[in-house]
């Protein structure tokens, strides 16, 4: 029996049944969604999806598409992935007893209202893991030090507006929580972030400080609307002319938040005044520790520095490790 893992539209597990994870349109016998980021969810949903209730609610809020879901299926167990609210890793067991761990996007750090992914809870023969920051130069400060630095920066600039840029799902919510712990200043959020906030608040006991701007779009902001407000905005808005115009007139500062902030190019690419390596992914050392803790027979890497990380695992730690390349059609059987 063929037992392969391939990276096509999503990650495909060809076992005794066909399990498809995080595809946009491809479907299998079982269809898994690890979390509600757009590049991990279906454009047109299959009949039933295996995912958490939180992921289903947030995906529906973001896309307007409702779908049926179950939180478990025969031979599939979901585990908290520590990436965003509702994010799940999955243990997939084949008919022969081989256990596959699919991490999806994950983080082992406890952050704000999220518990990190726990490798100690995983028993797997095959590990299929994302390696977004799988290069040694991506090492992030301890979480408590990083958050303290962000709060200090917010307090240092209490006399002007601040624009904070992060993904609408994940970073934006954590930024709201950090702001609330640092100051009592008013927090404004974009419409898309407000929609995600509402979906999370409806399915969990987590709440957020951000409020939409009186029914208007943030792009309708006028410099006269702002004094010392803190505005949380999606990352892709960092170079918008309306933000630059407000910053020029009010002295507002722009801060970017991402693991890519360890590179100076991230600051210039986003036209930020300051950046912080706040991320929802593991850094290099955390990826290594995840593999060593689970200690699988085989590791498959995908996304980011997949080749470099697989090479480190093979040459420095002795693992059988291979990068999954999209649309690769020939992979050796696991064993």
Give the tens place of pLDDT for each residue, 194-236. 999 999 999 999 999 999 877 778 888 889 989 999 999 999 9
- What sign does the dihedral 190-196-197-199 (CA atoms) show? positive
Which range has the worst mean pLDDT, 13-22, 36-45, 117-126?
36-45
- Same fold for the pair 4-137+281-323 and 143-276: no
258 with 277: CB under 8 angstroms? yes
22 with 104: CB under 8 angstroms? yes
The pLDDT of residue 329 is 44
Q: Who contacts 218 (Cβ-Cβ below 8 Å, separation ≥6)?
A: 188, 189, 190, 191, 231, 233
Q: Please determine, for residue 335, whether its predicted confidence score (pLDDT) is greater than 50.
A: no
Mean pLDDT value of segment 123-134: 98
Residue 328's pLDDT band (boundaries 50, 70, 90)?
low
- Distance of alpha carbon 271 from alpha carbon 275, whole angstroms: 10
This prediction's pTM: 0.94
Map out the domains of the chain as residue ranges. 4-137+281-323, 143-276
Topology at the third CATH level for domain 143-276: Rossmann fold (3.40.50)
Topology at the third CATH level for domain 4-137+281-323: Metallo-beta-lactamase; Chain A (3.60.15)
Which stretches within 64-128 are classed as H helix? Answer: none
10 with 327: CB under 8 angstroms? no
- Distance of alpha carbon 183 from alpha carbon 154, whole angstroms: 8
């Amino acid at each position: 029996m063929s037992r392969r893992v391939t990276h096509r539209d999503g990650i495909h597990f060809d076992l005794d049944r066909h399990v498809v994870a995080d595809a946009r349109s491809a479907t299998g016998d079982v269809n898994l969604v690890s979390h509600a980021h757009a590049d991990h969810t279906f454009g047109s949903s299959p009949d039933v999806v295996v995912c958490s209730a939180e992921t289903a609610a947030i995906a529906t809020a973001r896309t307007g598409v409702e779908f049926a879901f179950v939180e478990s299926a025969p031979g599939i167990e979901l585990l908290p992935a520590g990436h965003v609210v509702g994010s799940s890793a999955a243990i997939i067991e084949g008919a022969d007893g081989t256990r596959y761990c699919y991490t999806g996007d994950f983080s082992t750090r406890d952050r704000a209202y999220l518990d990190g992914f726990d490798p100690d809870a995983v028993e797997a023969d095959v590990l299929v893991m994302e390696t977004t920051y799988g290069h040694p130069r991506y090492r992030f400060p301890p979480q408590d030090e990083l958050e303290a630095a962000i709060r200090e920066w917010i307090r240092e600039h209490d006399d002007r507006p601040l624009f904070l840029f992060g993904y609408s799902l994940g970073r934006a919510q954590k930024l709201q929580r950090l702001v609330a712990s640092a100051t009592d200043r008013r927090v404004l959020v974009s419409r898309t972030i407000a929609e995600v906030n509402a979906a999370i608040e409806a399915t969990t006991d987590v709440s957020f400080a951000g409020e939409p701007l009186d029914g208007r779009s943030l792009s309708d902001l006028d410099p006269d609307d702002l004094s010392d407000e803190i505005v949380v905005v999606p990352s892709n808005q960092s170079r918008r002319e309306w933000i630059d115009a407000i910053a020029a007139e009010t002295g507002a500062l722009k801060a970017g938040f991402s693991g890519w902030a360890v590179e100076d190019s991230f600051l210039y690419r986003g036209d930020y005044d300051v950046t912080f390596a706040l991320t929802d992914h593991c850094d290099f050392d955390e990826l290594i520790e995840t593999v060593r803790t689970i200690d699988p027979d085989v590791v498959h890497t995908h996304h980011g520095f997949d080749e470099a990380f697989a090479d480190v695992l093979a040459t420095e730690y002795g693992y059988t490790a291979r990068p999954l390349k999209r649309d690769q059609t020939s992979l050796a059987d696991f064993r």
